[in-house]
Structure 1
Amino acid sequence: MDSGQQNGSNISRMIWTIGTPIVFFVGIVGNIITIIVLTKNRQKRSSTTVYLTVLAVTDLLVMTISLPRWWMIYTFGVDIRHLSNGMCKLHWFMTYFDSALSVSILVAVTIERIISTVKPYQMKKLCTVASAATISSIIIVVMLLLHSHVLYGFSLFHTEISITNNNNNSSNGTNATDMTANLTENTSFTETNQRNCNISGVNEISNCSRQAALNSTVLNEDKEFRTQLVKICWLQNSGYVKFYNSSFQIVTILLLNIIPECVFLIGGIIIVRKLMTARRRVASNQLEPNGNQHNYQADSNSRQITLTLLLVNIVFVICTMPVLIFLVKRSDWVDEKKGMTETQEIIWAIFNLMFYTNHAVNFILYFLSGKKFRKQVIAVFRCRNQSSENFVTRTRVTSVL
């Protein structure tokens, strides 16, 4: 491995080891505070706060389940998916489920905002706390069923990989755990490239352990060719490989990216146009003479919530689009046998942290764009009774944003 590749390896490792704790801390603290603020006053709960509470809980799961894996790999050389066959299946399932649930809830609350903008006077009947709870429950059940096949399709097994090291630079900072994580995340294995030694049973584990001790090493001039038996948490058979690489990938791309981004784009256009029209009406005094401060205050509050969610949607697109493009084109960019190059590892690390950042920064977006939310956060830290605060207004659109 040349010096440029060595630097690349160090850079990608630094991105994971330094960037992950920062995103993790921001995501954990932010989502916990969001949940506290949104659930503190049950009397002022709205359909929007129900959706955003579910979103915050889901983002919290992403922070605690999916994000730490890569930090553990690059810091301790431990892959949580390799702890057991059950953990392999469960972690893959939760990774897909959490991400799909998060974006689905965001789509639901965006649609609600579209309804509130287009049909503001019907919103109280159409968008209730009960309907939001029901829709959220339905989304959770659908996402569980849609991704349940992952519990069957993934399995922990041993496979033989070839490692080539220069004798002059054998310490290149890359270990087998890094390589296998690289391969399983970014290449598609075929059964002809695997020496499968499934470890779902106790006897098979001992057999694999004995086989792993017999790794072969062949020297050739200045290079050392070594085969090593390592753990892989990946697709367990050729039938599931075909399903995973075709139907499931299409569904995933549609569910996580194409459909949400279309909803955000179309909804954003509709909402912005309606808000601009409403602003022109206010500026030209075309509101009803009796249409008093109460109605104006409610409309203003609704616009504030809508603008906040538009900001959340924009950040979602910015943070998730790069990793989508990388994954869609990975078969063209990534060598199936060798895995990612060092440059690709750097890009992969950056794009992944951008993806996880999307699940960590909603609190910051709420805080910066929502005046009432800021006051609620301050009240939480000051341990004051929310009911005594002057900023809790009695409007038809009840929310803390």
Structure 2
Amino acid sequence: MDSNQSKGSDIARMIWIVGSPLIFAVGVFGNIVTMIILSRKRNKPSSTTVFLSAKAFADLFVILFMLPRWWLVYLVGFDVRHIHNIVCKLQFFGNYFNGSYGSFLLAAVTIERALCTAKPYMVKNICTANIAVIISIALALTSCVIHGHMLIGMKLYEVTYNETAGTISFPLDSNERSTNTSAFIFDQYFDTANSTTEEWTDDLFAKIESNEEFTSINKIKVCWYDDPEYGQYFSEIHQTLSVTTFMFIPLIIFLVCGIVIIKGLRKSSKLQKSMRNKYTQISSKQSAFDDRASQITFTLLLVNGLFVVMALPALIFLIGRSAWVDEETGMTETQEIVWALVNMLIYLKHAINFILYFLSGNRFRRQVLELFGYKKNSSVERSKGAHANQLISVSSNYDLSLQK
């Protein structure tokens, strides 16, 4: 959606102006700290750390380069997409790329956790850091293939906008009218015009030339498509593909892998109970292992659950937009408020993973506190750490690189 499409509801404007800096601060801080913690030498490189580091980087990119755009639009009326044609293309592409890439990475780490649970003795061969790097690069290339066409199809150009009539016309050069069909797209994009016929456009230019019914005509910049064939592909095929890769495929993976993880942990719990009866000397260590395995499961399910909860409202709004948003008048103030809120949820999704890791992961929380100068060195803590290391080498090959 281009910034020229916004109507300027006061409440929606305040949501963007106040909410954006808060999410920006939390997201930048959290994702940077997450990458620092995961890249520490004490955290042995693993498939989990690779996926989560890539996810933190993708989230940071969204917070740094996507969120500030709308904050500036509503605060000072400036759209970064209007700086240059290259910025228009890259910002448009980056928005879609990071949406699908972040979902792919979360799905990948979910599959990895399911494999670690279902096939714990195959983890060393399947879930390695090198394989995770290859998968992360492959997912990035896949996202580029899906959304790369926007680097060609989207462009920055000027149109004429009549403030009094609320209508959009072709670029001012009337010689381009025979080949340039951008006005056919703007009628649905700006929610201002209702007709898309050649007679409508000829009539519009006639009124412009005679200044009839047009008292305030301005040039405005638009970052959008002007090829109707590409516009049809973007509006129908690409949008469907984006929704599928951003929500539906990850959702199916979350559900299937969640069932696998829960079943695997139940089976592992039964096995560990029998081990306690035979090897009572590691009973306390096994309990510690159970707690840490539960932490991993809880964190992963929490992240996946919040992903669905935060992304679903925006998905529902976009799917049903044609049904409840009037094409002639555009969004009402209430709909603008709803649109602002669902967007805040989308951006918040990229900012709060650090909080989830911190609250549910003992080891992650301990390293964060140490990073900021708080250390709790005691013989008890060192003993617990030593026992946990022994347990990992004896009882299982679970990857606990994030939350030991």
Give the TM-score taking structure 1 as reference length. 0.79
Q: How many residues align?
A: 357
Distance of 2:210 and 2:29 partners within structure 1: 46
User: SS state of the match for residue 382, structure 1?
Assistant: coil
How far off its partner does 1:111 sit? 0.3
Alignment match of 1:372 (pick from 325, 342, 363): 363
How much does 1:366 deviate?
0.4
Q: What are the equivalent positions in structure 2 for 1:1-400 lying under 5 Å apart?
A: 9-41=9-41, 44-164=44-164, 218=213, 226-279=216-269, 285=274, 289-290=278-279, 292=282, 297-298=288-289, 300-382=291-373, 390=382, 393-394=388-389, 395=392, 396=397, 397-400=399-402
TM superposition shift of 1:162? 3.9
The superposition leaves residues 306-361 of structure 1 with CA deviations (integer Å, 9 ceiling, x where unpaired) of 22111100010010000011111112222334332211110110000000100000
CA deviations 1:173-232 (Å, max 9, x no partner) are xxxxxxxx9x8588999976998xxxxxxxxxxxxxxxxx9996848xxxxx74433211
Q: CA deviation at 1:302?
A: 3.4
What RMSD in Å do the two structures reach over aligned CA positions? Answer: 3.4
User: Alpha-carbon deviation of 1:290?
Assistant: 3.9
SS in 2 for 1:121: helix
Note the alpha carbon deviations across 1:136-194, whole angstroms, 9 max, x for none: 111112212221101011111222334349xxxxxxxxxxxxxxx9x858899997699
Shifted more, 297-306 versus 344-353: the winner is: 297-306
CA contact (8 A) 1:215 1:227 kept: no
Whichever residue aligns with residue 56 of structure 1, its letter is A
Distance 1:78 1:152, change over 3 A: same
CA contact (8 A) 1:187 1:334 kept: no
Aligned equivalents of 2:210 and 2:67: distance in 1?
32
CA distance in 2, matches of 1:187, 1:119: 57
Take 1:236 and 1:358, find their aligned partners in 2: how far apart are those partners? 32
Distance of aligned partners of 1:138 and 1:186 in 2 relative to their CA distance in 1, 3 Å threshold: farther
> Structure 1 46/190 Cα, relative in aligned 2: closer, same or farther at 3 Å?
farther
Deviation, structure 1 residue 12? 0.4
Describe the shift of the 1:184–1:63 C-alpha distance in structure 2 as closer, same or farther (beyond 3 A).
farther
Cα deviation 1:263-307 (Å, max 9, x = unaligned): 11222222223334444555x646572494666655543332222
Offset, 1:44: 2.0
| Counterpart-to-counterpart distance in 2, 1:236 and 1:97 | 21
Post-superposition offset of 1:60: 0.2
Change (3 A) 1:232 1:337: farther
Distance 1:214 1:94, change over 3 A: farther
Q: 1:23 to 1:186 in 2, by over 3 A?
A: farther
Question: Using the alignment, how far apart are the partners of 1:31 and 1:353 within structure 2?
Answer: 17
Task: Kindly indicate whether the alpha-carbon contact (under 8 Å) linking 1:8 and 1:346 is maintained by their aligned counterparts in 2.
Answer: no
Separation in 2, partners of 1:316, 1:144: 22
8 A Cα contact 2:88 2:155, kept in partner:
yes
SS of corresponding position for 2:120: coil
Deviation at 1:29, TM superposition (A): 0.4
Distance 1:281 1:36 in 2: 36
Unaligned runs of 5+ in 1: 1-6, 166-180, 196-212, 220-224
Once structures 1 and 2 are overlaid, which stretch shifts more, 362-371 or 327-336? 327-336
Partner amino acid, structure 1, of 2:350: H
What is the alpha-carbon distance in structure 1 between the residues aligned to residue 376 and residue 40 of structure 2?
A: 10
Contact 1:111/1:267 (CA < 8 Å) preserved in 2?
A: yes
Q: Partners in 2 of 1:157 and 1:192 — Cα distance?
A: 22
Look up the match of 2:183.
none
Structure 2's unaligned 5+ residue stretches are 1-6, 166-185, 202-207
Summarize the Cα distance change of 1:237–1:270 in structure 2 as closer, same or farther, 3 Å threshold. same
Query: Aligned with 2:401: secondary structure?
Result: coil
Distance 1:370 1:309, change over 3 A: same
Report what 1:171 is aligned to: none
Partners of 2:43 and 2:401 within 8 A in 1: no
